[in-house]
A and B are shown apart, each in its own frame.
Chain A
Amino acid sequence: MSPNPEKRNEVLPGTLNLMVLKTLDTLGPLHGFGIARRIEQISENLLQLNQGTIYPALLHLEQMGWIRSKWGTSENNRRAKYYSITPAGRKQLAVEEEHWRRAANIMTRFLEPSEEGT
């Protein structure tokens, strides 16, 4: 089920925060395991993620005030810590999305063949 391990990319630093925020924004409140699995899913397992690294990232996001946490019960009646995005977090998400689109745009222009000249 998992593709060839050598072909997986490592998580770029700083992007994990963005992925977590987007996940919470899209799916609503979720626990740590759920967020990690979702990220793996979306990337179709092209991303090499040590699931545990999500927790320091979640702590950082909580300290910055972009997400908040609350203990709740999971589907299987298990006690789990649920995270949800805050209004400040939504603002930050918009900012970082814009930043990424612009960066991707610039890189694409560089990597595409030039339309002018021979």
Chain B
Amino acid sequence: MIWLRIFLHRLVGLFRKRALERELDEEIRAHLEMQIEENLARGMSPEEARFDALRQFGGVDQVKEVYRQRRTLHVIETIVQDLRFATRMLAKQPGFTAIAVLALALGIGVNTAILSALNGFILRPLPVEKPEELVATHWGRKMDERVWGYFSYANYVDLREQNQSFTDLCAWWQTAAGISSSDSRKAGDSERAEVVWGELVSANYFDVMGVKPILGRVFLPEEDRTPNTHAVVVLGYQLWKQRFNADLAIVGKNIYLNGQPFTVIGVMPESFLGSAFYLRQGFWVPSMMAQRFGRRADWRTDRNYPSFYLYGRLKPGVTLAQAEADLNLVADNLAKLYPDINADTKIQLSRELDSRYRNATRMIKYSGMLALCVSGLVLLLACANVANLMLARAVTRAKEIGIRLAIGASRGRIVRQLLTESVLLALMGGALGLAFAYRGADVIRATFPPVPYPISFDFTPDGYVLKWMLVISVLTGVIFGLAPALLAARTDLVAVIKGGSSGQSRGRQRWNLRGALVVAQVTISIIVLICAGLFIRSLGKVRQTDPGFATENLITMMLNLDLLAYDQETTRRFYPELQRRIEKQPGVRMAALASELPLMDSRGSRGPIVKEGEADPPPNQGTFSECSLVTPKYFDTLRIELVSGRDFTDRDNADAPFVVIVNQAFARRFYGSTENALGKRFRFSPGSPLMEIIGIAKDGYYRSLFEDHQPFMFLPVYQHSRARMTLLVSAQSAGDLKVVAESVRREISQLDARLPVVGVMMAEENLSLAYMGPRLAAGTATIFGVLALVLSMMGLYSVMTYAVSQRTHEIGIRMALGASLGDVLWLIVSQGLRMVLTGMALGLVSAFALTRLLSSLLLGVGTTDAVTFVGVAVLLITVALLACLLPARRAARVDPLVALRSE
């Protein structure tokens, strides 16, 4: 505790400096006077008395200095001193400071932007209590790798009751609903319903997630026990604020979802979006109300109806591995009890953070890490630039530093003071870079396609990002400031104080270091530029790839009859009627409906596929195939070629034999060739009717442009049933698109004015989700590339300018001896080119080795694509030549006489 006493004492000393200094002065003066008095009494003269007193005292200033050091927190004092001095020095050279801060701002800003983006995408934890404890469950078949996240309600209940590892397990099911202000079943009601997204949840949901409401309460267990009894709802913050004007008396009032009343019992805080990290939910209702949201009546009992996602919290002391083993025991138990459905299933657990984007999580993390690495390289470039500038500056400050060393400053003190300058620069750059990062957040958001889901990302830098940026700024300051500081403090004292050209020999050594920095910068720039080039080419190839359907003149929009709680019969009649009416509209070439537009977040699949005459495979074995439900004329509307057979017609309805159209890959996979497949029949196991293959469609891309061609089935929607469909309208010409879209909407509201229409996309917009990844990559990489080029050329230019100024004398001699303008130009430019070519060679070789890291992100472009490598090399040489020529021309204009006279 003694040190605490001393610390506090010294802290006080820091603040009362002036007063304590006066006191010390007074005390010492009193001491000396008393000694003088004594001496006078002994008979000395006044001068002798004073001299003797001082002699006996010892050095007054030394004593004062030692006293001062003990009195305060010396460290803080020196830091404050250094800061003041650093600020003065930087303010004295505003040009240097501005350039350095700008370069640093670009480097740090780019890193901040990437870190904020990563944070907003995958790093930030859910805004719940102890988010790291949340665990997501997945199930899969023992025979393969793929896992799914959705469970049937019956399985959920058993898992919840029979497990030993979770304190509790909750279930949630995403749904959309139409929200209106009254019971819109009434006749004559024409208010168009607005679509809101929400979740059907188990009663324990909010407890397991760990959120408390800001108004009212959450569900009670009895509210989620029996179906269709408790029509209560908890509102999301944004919905409450926007649609209900943050009404503080909302608890107890009714709102209307899908035309039916629900009583509001609570409101969630603003930070809580829902179970899925990036989707903002508007409401939560008990799972027992599922039928009001279009679910089948047997949703609760059908063990084969995959619906709910599950989250749980582990009991304290239970590890993920233990819990997984435990749940697998339960799964095996269920497999014995219900072999038809649960046989051969396994359960996998993962933390919520790792399962955020399901299968895409690893890819997103990987690209994020790559982006962070490249932005780190850009930061290094900025550091090299500023280090270069500081080295140049160190030469001009040599005299000042020499004098300070002579007076008695220690080298360590000087180094510390210079480091303070560089850290101060870095912090200023970091602050400016933060402004860049905020802009970056906006740019990223602009690349998002207009999907009709309530996606909500927050890319603004938050506490976590700011903390890291502070650390990185300080580290940056140390990195680029250390070498120049150490070099500066090594100045040869005598020579520098004498002044003169002995700075030359030091200068040459520093120049080699600066040259090396330029080479390093060029190397890094090449790598970054090649990455940019590869991504740009990849984007070009992506856009050239034929997605398998025509987007020219195509208008699409999404309709969801669940929102109006239509029954099956009304649904069956609605869509053909709509199709008929739309085709009659002027400007419409053809129209159709499909359960999903290809490449647009599609995920339907059915199976297992059983060919005619074969036996059912055991449960949870067998192959599934992706599929889509379509109306007749689907293929024509999207201009997908049917290589053989025919399209669906109106006669392929529920009373006619079951039919199906498959693609070439399906035919090859299951029947060996497309010729064999036509006319064959297959079914889904267990117990569905046989379907005849009546047509073969050309292969296309269905989930992503990066996939291999996979089997796909098209089922006629009139033989199966579906409420949520995408309307596809092919217009006759490009000019009519907006007009046609409007008339289509009018037709829809004439059929039912309450039906909301979402996600209207035209022409190329239909591919926006498919293009989003490549676009983002190319855009970010281009920004990096431009920054890298600018920073390294700035470095080259400044080094060349300095080199010219150093060689003025030499140039003067050469010109006096008869060198021509061209000779001088070549002299200077060759010096620069040597650095550039060295850097380029190193860069090309490194890029060759490193770009294989990008292979999973590129489409249609090899990682050693010759066009890119050559193109980047040419670009760099051209710009570098320019950067060298400008100073070279200045050198060539030197007047030999002036040069010879100068030293």
Contact = CB atoms under 8 A, between A and B. Distances in A.
A is bound by B: yes
B56 A33 contact: no
B10 A63 contact: yes
Contacts of B5: 63-65
Nearest to B26: A79
Given A31-B30, A79-B26, A80-B30, A55 B10 contact: no
Interface stretch (B66-74, B208-216, B850-858): B66-74
A53 interface: yes
Interface string B834-860: 000000000000000000000000000
B59 A52 contact: yes
Looking at chain B, what size class is its interface with the partner chain? 20 to 34
Interface in B1-56: 2, 5-6, 9-10, 23-24, 26-28, 30-31, 33-35, 37-38, 56
A32 B58 contact: no
Nearest to B66: A56
A22 interface: no
A101 B31 CA distance: 32
From B27, B35, B38, residue with most partner A Cβ within 10 Å: B27
B671 interface: no
A59 B71 contact: yes
Contact of A55 (B9, B56, B63): B63
B6 A33 contact: no
Interface string A81-114: 1000000000000000000000000000000000
A64 B8 CA distance: 11
B30 A59 contact: no
A79 B67 CA distance: 20
Interface string A47-87: 00011110110011011110000000010101111000000
Given A50-B58, A60-B70, A63-B9, A55 B30 contact: no
Contacts of A53: 58, 63
Contacts of A63: 5-6, 9-10, 70
B297 interface: no
B60 interface: yes
Nearest to A80: B30
Contact of B6 (A55, A64, A79): A64
B703 to A, nearest CB: 73
B34 A33 contact: yes
A51 B6 contact: no
Contact of B67 (A31, A33, A56): A56
A76 B38 CA distance: 12
Contacts of A51: 31, 35, 56-58
Given A33-B30, A51-B31, A81 B23 contact: yes
Nearest to B56: A51
A74 B30 contact: yes
A56 B59 CA distance: 13
Say what secondary structure dominates the interface of chain B. Answer: helix
A33 B63 contact: no
Contact of B70 (A31, A33, A50, A56): A56
Contact of A80 (B24, B27, B67): B27
Contacts of B28: 52, 55
Interface in A17-60: 31-33, 36-37, 50-53, 55-56, 59-60
B184 to A, nearest CB: 80
A32 B58 CA distance: 14
A65 B1 CA distance: 11
A65 B2 CA distance: 9
B714 to A, nearest CB: 87
A50 B2 CA distance: 28
Contacts of B33: 78
Given A52-B63, A59-B70, A60-B70, A81 B6 contact: no
B30 A56 contact: no
B35 A78 contact: no
A12 B67 CA distance: 19
A50 B6 contact: no
A80 B35 CA distance: 13
B34 A78 contact: yes
A79 B58 contact: no
B64 to A, nearest CB: 9
Contacts of B6: 63-64
A38 B2 CA distance: 29
A81 B27 contact: yes
From A36, A63, A74, residue with most partner B Cβ within 10 Å: A63
A59 B67 CA distance: 8
B59 A32 contact: no
Interface in B614-651: none
B30 A52 contact: no
B32 to A, nearest CB: 8
A107 B67 CA distance: 34
A52 B24 contact: no
A93 B23 CA distance: 27
Nearest to B27: A81
A57 B26 CA distance: 17
Contacts of B35: 33, 51
B23 to A, nearest CB: 7
From B24, B35, B63, residue with most partner A Cβ within 10 Å: B63
Contacts of A64: 2, 5-6
B30 A78 contact: yes
Contacts of A31: 30-31, 34
A78 to B, nearest CB: 6
Contact of A76 (B23, B37, B56, B67): B37
A62 B67 CA distance: 12
Contacts of A74: 30, 34
A59 B2 CA distance: 14
B67 to A, nearest CB: 5
Contacts of B60: 52
From A55, A74, A76, residue with most partner B Cβ within 10 Å: A55
From B9, B24, B57, residue with most partner A Cβ within 10 Å: B57
Interface in B474-513: none
Nearest to B61: A52
Nearest to B30: A80
B713 to A, nearest CB: 85
A63 B30 CA distance: 22
A94 to B, nearest CB: 17
B893 to A, nearest CB: 64
A103 to B, nearest CB: 23
Contact of A52 (B10, B37, B58, B70): B58
A55 B67 contact: yes
B57 A50 contact: yes
Interface in B377-411: none
Nearest to B67: A56
Nearest to A65: B5
A73 to B, nearest CB: 11
A36 B56 CA distance: 10
Contacts of A32: 27, 31
A59 B10 CA distance: 11
Contacts of B9: 62-63
Interface of A: 31-33, 36-37, 50-53, 55-56, 59-60, 62-65, 74, 76, 78-81
24 contacts: A33-B30, A33-B31, A36-B31, A37-B38, A50-B56, A50-B58, A51-B31, A51-B58, A53-B63, A55-B67, A56-B66, A56-B67, A59-B67, A63-B70, A64-B2, A65-B2, A76-B34, A78-B34, A79-B30, A80-B27, A80-B30, A81-B26, A81-B27, A81-B30
Given A37-B38, A56-B66, A79-B26, 18 more contacts: A31-B30, A31-B31, A33-B30, A50-B56, A50-B57, A52-B58, A52-B59, A55-B24, A55-B27, A55-B67, A56-B67, A63-B6, A63-B9, A64-B6, A74-B34, A76-B34, A78-B34, A80-B27
Interface of B: 2, 5-6, 9-10, 23-24, 26-28, 30-31, 33-35, 37-38, 56-60, 62-63, 66-67, 70-71
**Across the A-B interface, the 8 shortest Cβ-Cβ residue pairs:** A50-B58, A52-B63, A52-B58, A33-B31, A33-B34, A63-B9, A52-B57, A51-B57
